[in-house]
Amino acid sequence: MLLDEIRDLARSRGAVILAHNYCRGEVQDAADFTGDSLELARKAAGVDADVIVFCGVYFMAETAKILNPARKVLIPDPTAGCPMADMITAGQLRELKARHPGAAAVCYVNSTAEVKAECEICVTSGNAEKVMATFPPDREVLFVPDRHLGGHVAGLLGREYVLWPGYCPTHAALTVKAIEAARRRHPGAPVLVHPECARDVREAADERLSTGGMCRFARETAAEDVIVGTETGILHRLRRENPGRRFHPVSERMICPNMKKNTLENLRDALAGMQHEVVVPEAIAARARIAIERMLACG
């Protein structure tokens, strides 16, 4: 069986398998640890294995590599990118910084290593409010690339940021109409959305949470039915961890095609051939590491 083959290979290679909450259910089940991007970055920072196989999208595997320059980091499909991360280049960020001298450049972790290297600090959706609260209110902030997460945090802290117009195609497509329809199907059920959703959608929801925050909410809520407005891969974990509750997607169409590129077959092939190694030039990694480690130091 493929799963046994993966476990045997992982053992013989001294590999740990990390998977994001949006991966296919069978890939999550094959992983040693499943989490949101902050939990996975923390896990990667403390890993004690020769090899990390990262089932997620490229920037996540890159973050693991930056935190583990001496370890081998593999990604089952190196074409699994994040379109939002590719919506700003390091050159564009340098131009923006030149137009705003003295401003703090902050990036969502969904960004390339080159963009992180240009930033003071990065954030995830799980810690953005906490990290951004460390900036003095009078400091100008350039927030890239997600205008929705940036707008969400600016709103929470009562501040205004210069927002880069990037977005997640999977989350930005969610509509208030879809939320209203889900509420009609499941009256009384709380609606959770990811902060990558547009402002009107965030306002129409009950909670705005990272995927890790949604997993914690699901464990603690008294509600039997919960409406989930994020990538549908998370439903596998929510249902497995909370067999007494029912989880309903706002939309079955919320799929990140790149997360779905991770399969049991290419996970096995990555381990068997030790292939698709993630490489980050040390000159870039050294600067990007500062931004990531500052974020992790915020707790």
Using rule CB under 6 A, residue 170 touches ligand SF4: yes
d(CA 228, CA 182): 9
User: Which residue carries 């996540």 as its tokens?
Assistant: 60
d(CA 256, CA 142): 27
Least distance (Å) between residue 17 CB and ligand 13P: 17
Q: How many residues bind ligand 13P (CB under 6 A)?
A: 13
Both tokens assigned to 181: 């329809």
Picked from ligand 13P, ligand SF4, none, the partner binding residue 126 (CB below 5 to 8 A depending on kind) is: ligand 13P
Using rule CB under 6 A, residue 57 touches ligand SF4: yes
Please choose, out of 1-9, 61-69, 76-84, 116-124, the segment that lies near ligand SF4 by the rule CB under 6 A: 76-84
Least distance (Å) between residue 136 CB and ligand 13P: 26
> Between 77 and 106, how does the x/- string for binding to ligand SF4 read (CB under 6 A)?
-----xxx----------------------
Question: Cβ closer to ligand SF4: 65 or 171?
Answer: 171
Q: How many residues bind ligand SF4 (CB under 6 A)?
A: 14
Using rule CB under 6 A, residue 124 touches ligand 13P: yes
Q: Are 270 and 75 in contact (CB under 8 A)?
A: yes
Map the footprint of ligand SF4 across residues 203-262, applying CB under 6 A: 231, 256, 258-259
Out of 28, 125, 127, 262, point to the residue binding ligand 13P (CB under 6 A). Answer: 125
Picked from ligand 13P, ligand SF4, none, the partner binding residue 83 (CB below 5 to 8 A depending on kind) is: ligand SF4
Map the footprint of ligand 13P across residues 165-184, applying CB under 6 A: 168
**Closest listed residue to residue 259, CA positions, set 98, 88, 77:** 77
Using rule CB under 6 A, residue 62 touches ligand 13P: no
Least distance (Å) between residue 8 CB and ligand 13P: 29
Picked from ligand 13P, ligand SF4, none, the partner binding residue 258 (CB below 5 to 8 A depending on kind) is: ligand SF4
Residues in contact with ligand SF4 by CB under 6 A are 57, 82-84, 110, 168-171, 196, 231, 256, 258-259
Residues in contact with ligand 13P by CB under 6 A are 21, 36-38, 110, 124-126, 168, 194, 196, 210-211
